[in-house]
């Protein structure tokens, strides 16, 4: 029995890899247009970063982190998300000195020890953006628009934006009191976890997936009705810009998101008909995070999107993937004696900028042609005694089956200029 991939992880096989770079190229193209620069942070960080950044009472920190000691017993954690690492890098590299507003994007693997199921993995990939240094509601709308443009360019349809405001430190003090009061005589109806959440951070009860807790929360006081004037105005402005751009959204006062750093705007983009794991992106504003991680008070806003979930939607919606580029020329030897010439020619063709390959074995011409067909080579260049005596190859268009003799050093020219072979 051979060793298998760890639970919740998967291989991206060669047939699927082109889908990934197609998506990654689109992400880079759109985000560069919006003025974002790419950042790559390590796959693991000191655990403290996530405890402080994401919040002690969140599911991610209490149950889902892959945490391990290094050889000096310092606690490390595989990054479960990208925002806290990006803010850490922003602070550590004094990025605020270069510009007041810093706009970053990332694409990479994240790790959460969750129960694997459709659309939920233990290693998954996100792309995300972070705008650090502005409290303008326009920035909130820009990040939503950038996400939507990427989805649109990739052809995704039937997406819905769900939006809320979770207020700020100021308005939350009174609100949490209200929420606690509301829950105080319902504690024995809450699940055990929510009883703990009630003590540590009652807002998290909104995040519970259990029907019984969700039912209780339906009649709970909502944060949107308890916003301070500044948060209220900010939320009004965000909605008004969305209306202005004719971006449809659905208001959900119960949306609190699974990370504690959010302030003001919180949003998710969901794929309709995707089932339980329907959030393909989530984000919001985090105006206290930079300060919480040791920096000066600096506002921020961003989102992250799951790439596996995006591919699921694209497959479900039968979006046409671009055809992967096939090899230009497969060299076929008539006999083993032509091996050295074939090898030299192979490298020459590659040096000219065309893609080329050959079968290094001494298998029959028929078997080599079979390989050429299988890999979808556009042309085969057949080398035999007759061809070599004239410094030529027989170039065969694998689609039309037409053949033509071409001088060795003119193959590239032939392919590029177009010949009677519909090249």
Q: Which residues are annotated as a binding site for L-histidine?
A: 81-83, 112, 126, 130, 257, 261-262
Is residue 130 a contact point for ligand HAM (CB under 6 A)? yes
Q: In what order do the strands lie in the sheet with 263-271?
A: 37-38, 102-111, 123-132, 300-306, 279-285, 263-271, 159-165, 250-251
Identity of the residue, 146 or 406, whose beta carbon is nearer to ligand HAM in the bound complex: 146
Which residue bears the tokens 């659309």? 119
Task: Classify 335 as helix, strand or coil.
Answer: coil
Identify the H or E element spanning 234. Answer: helix 229-244
Identity of the residue, 65 or 305, whose beta carbon is nearer to ligand HAM in the bound complex: 305
Is residue 303 a contact point for ligand HAM (CB under 6 A)? yes
Residue range at the interface with ligand HAM (CB under 6 A); choices 35-43, 175-183, 302-310, 318-326: 302-310
Position of minimal CB gap to ligand HAM:
306
Identity of the residue, 126 or 164, whose beta carbon is nearer to ligand HAM in the bound complex: 126
| Contact (CB, 8 A) for 38 and 106 | yes
**Minimum separation from the CB atom of position 161 to ligand HAM (A):** 12
Query: Could you give the CA distance from residue 330 to residue 382 in angstroms, rounded to a whole number?
Result: 8
- Strand positions, DSSP E, 286-328: 300-306
In 3D space, the residue among 277, 4, 276, 9 whose CA is nearest the CA of residue 121 turns out to be 9
Is residue 258 a contact point for ligand HAM (CB under 6 A)? yes
At 208, list the tokens: 């519970």
Is residue 304 a contact point for ligand HAM (CB under 6 A)? yes
Binding-site residue positions: 81-83, 112, 126, 130, 257, 261-262
Query: Could you give the CA distance from residue 153 to residue 29 in angstroms, rounded to a whole number?
Result: 10
Contacts of ligand HAM in 106-125 (CB under 6 A): 112, 114, 120-121, 124
Binding mask 356-395 for ligand HAM (x = CB under 6 A): ----------------------------------------
Is residue 126 a contact point for ligand HAM (CB under 6 A)? yes
| Contact (CB, 8 A) for 389 and 405 | no
Is residue 271 a contact point for ligand HAM (CB under 6 A)? no
Is residue 311 a contact point for ligand HAM (CB under 6 A)? no
Identity of the residue, 113 or 388, whose beta carbon is nearer to ligand HAM in the bound complex: 113
Is residue 85 a contact point for ligand HAM (CB under 6 A)? no
| Contact (CB, 8 A) for 389 and 401 | no
Identity of the residue, 189 or 276, whose beta carbon is nearer to ligand HAM in the bound complex: 276
b/e code 358-383 from CB counts within 10 Å (16+ = b): bbeeeeeeeebbebbeeeebbbbbbb
Residue range at the interface with ligand HAM (CB under 6 A); choices 88-96, 146-154, 301-309, 373-381: 301-309
Query: Could you give the CA distance from residue 172 to residue 166 in angstroms, rounded to a whole number?
Result: 8
b/e code 61-74 from CB counts within 10 Å (16+ = b): beebbebeeeeeee
Is residue 299 a contact point for ligand HAM (CB under 6 A)? no
**166, 280, 346, 356: which one contacts ligand HAM (CB under 6 A)?**
280
**Minimum separation from the CB atom of position 110 to ligand HAM (A):** 7
> Which stretches of the chain bind ligand HAM, using CB under 6 A?
81-83, 112, 114, 120-121, 124, 126, 128, 130, 258-259, 279-284, 286, 302-306, 308-309
């Amino acid at each position: 029995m051979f060793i298998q991939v760890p639970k919740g992880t998967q291989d991206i096989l060669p047939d699927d890899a082109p889908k990934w770079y197609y998506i990654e190229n689109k992400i880079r193209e759109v985000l560069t247009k919006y003025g974002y620069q790419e950042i790559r942070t390590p796959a693991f960080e000191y655990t403290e970063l996530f405890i402080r950044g994401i919040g002690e009472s969140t599911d991610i920190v209490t149950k889902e982190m892959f945490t391990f000691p290094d050889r000096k017993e310092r606690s490390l954690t595989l990054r479960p998300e990208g925002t806290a690492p990006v803010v850490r890098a922003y602070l550590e590299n004094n990025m605020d000195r270069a510009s007041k507003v810093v706009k970053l994007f990332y694409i990479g693997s994240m790790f959460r020890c969750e129960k694997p199921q459709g659309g939920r993995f233990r290693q998954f990939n996100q792309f995300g953006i972070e705008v650090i240094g502005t409290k303008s509601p326009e920035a909130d709308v820009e990040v939503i628009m950038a996400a939507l443009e990427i989805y649109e360019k990739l052809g995704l349809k039937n997406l819905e934006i769900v939006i809320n405001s979770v207020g700020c430190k100021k308005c939350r003090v009174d609100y949490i009191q209200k929420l606690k009061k509301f829950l105080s005589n319902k504690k024995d109806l809450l699940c055990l976890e929510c009883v703990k959440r009630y003590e540590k951070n009652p807002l998290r009860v909104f995040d519970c997936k259990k029907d019984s807790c969700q039912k209780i929360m339906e009649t709970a006081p909502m944060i949107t009705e308890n916003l301070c004037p500044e948060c209220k105005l900010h939320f009004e402005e965000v909605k008004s810009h969305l209306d202005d751009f004719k971006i449809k959204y659905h208001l959900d006062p119960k949306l609190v998101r699974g990370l504690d750093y959010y302030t003001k705007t919180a949003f998710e983009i969901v794929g309709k008909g995707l089932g339980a794991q329907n959030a393909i992106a989530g984000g919001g504003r985090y105006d206290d995070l930079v300060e919480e991680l040791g920096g000066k008070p600096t506002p921020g806003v961003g989102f992250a999107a799951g790439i596996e979930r995006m591919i699921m939607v694209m497959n479900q919606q039968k979006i046409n993937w671009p055809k992967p580029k096939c090899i230009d020329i497969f060299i076929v030897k008539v006999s083993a004696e032509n091996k050295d010439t074939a090898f030299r020619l192979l490298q020459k063709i590659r040096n000219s900028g065309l893609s080329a390959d050959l079968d290094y074995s001494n298998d029959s011409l028929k078997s080599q042609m079979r390989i050429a067909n299988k890999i979808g080579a556009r042309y085969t260049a057949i080398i035999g005694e007759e061809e070599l005596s004239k410094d030529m190859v027989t170039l065969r268009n694998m689609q039309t089956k037409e053949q033509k003799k071409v001088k060795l050093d003119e193959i590239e020219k032939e392919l590029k200029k177009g010949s009677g072979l519909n090249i």
